[in-house]
Amino acid sequence: MKICPRCQKTYSDDNLNFCLEDGSVLTQASAGLPQTVMINEPRITQPQPSMPSQPGSQPGSQPGWNVAPQPQYSMQPPRKSSKMWIWVVLILGVLAVICGSGLVGLIYIGSQADIASNSGYSNNGKTAPSPTANKSSNTSTNTNTTDRTSLETIDLEQWVKENSLYGTTEFTNGEFIMGSKKKAFYYVLVAPEDYKTGNANTRVTLRNIDDANSSLGYGLIFHSNPTPLLQDYALLIDTKRKKYHVVHHEPQKESSVVSWTSSDSIKGGTAENVLEARDLSDKIELYINGTMVTSIKNTYGYAGGVAGLYSGDGVKIAFKNLEIRK
């Protein structure tokens, strides 16, 4: 009988010199030891010192043995604390200090853009200060009356307004083009106080650029309060129907003086038409292309009133040669 000095297994085969378990050299067994040992008995091992179970240990782990916790991974790398907002606040603060006055001026101009629009609705007249204009004077022998030889021409290029809630304006190829932004509304601009139409012949040339329909018409304002649509007259035409109309304005109201009337004096299509109001001592004579179509009494005119322009129904009208002869 032989025995392994390391694992203590015994072997009855005396011809076996080495342990089949660990390869150790076998020695002769002493008397009194067990004669046989279960070959499939599990090998005795020294367990590691036990450690407390960690939170989150896996179910089914043996008690007293450490179960290594699963590593925790972040789907995104941890964000670094950004201080960019501090720089943004500092930059805005510097700009506010440096450009503060400029920003205030810009806001003021923007708020005044619509106030200075000089426009009006057919159902809700909006008024504002008049646009600026340049004045030129000369004498001419080509006058409508023999005693009115002093000519004042209003520079319509100065009337262009970049921003308005109510109408659009532009100056192209010597023509001032204006129109209301909406159908069934009208847009009115008037001259400064220097351009009075009392005891004068006031005239303008206009054309319907697109030969568009306009139920409200377009034409010449005269005897107007320098704040538009408070008190004035307007000689209006519609080249599609070849009709003219005379109205006067009160605050938030347009009233008819002469109802729509047909006239062969009106040129149709996109042709130019010349409108003129001649203020006399007892009446106002109204002309279209040199032909007097009607006359009215000055009942609603503003004393010391000025000239202006009118465009209704969203139709773009081109005006030029707005003149006053005295």
Residues above pLDDT 90, as percent of the chain:
53
| Residue 55 banded pLDDT, cuts 50, 70, 90 | very low
For residues 197 and 279, the answer to whether their CB atoms sit within 8 Å is: yes
175 pLDDT more than 60: yes
73 pLDDT more than 80: no
pLDDT of amino acid 131: 54
Which residue matches tokens 């076998």?
A: 26
Type of residue numbered 171: F
109 pLDDT more than 60: no
The CATH code that applies to domain 122-325 is 2.60.120.560
pLDDT of amino acid 28: 78
Greater confidence (56 vs 189) lies with: 189
Query: Domain ranges in the chain?
Result: 1-41, 122-325
Type of residue numbered 296: I
Please report which helix (H) or strand (E) contains residue 114, including its range: helix 84-115
Average pLDDT, the chain: 75
75 pLDDT more than 90: no
Q: What share of the chain is helix, strand, coil (3-state, %, to 5)?
A: 10, 35, 55
Among residues 228, 214, 222, 201, which one has the least CA distance to residue 292? 201
Among residues 165, 81, 174, which one has the least CA distance to residue 124? 165
Q: Which range among 69-78, 151-160, 297-306 shows the weakest confidence by mean pLDDT? A: 69-78
CA pair distance 236, 238, nearest whole angstrom: 7
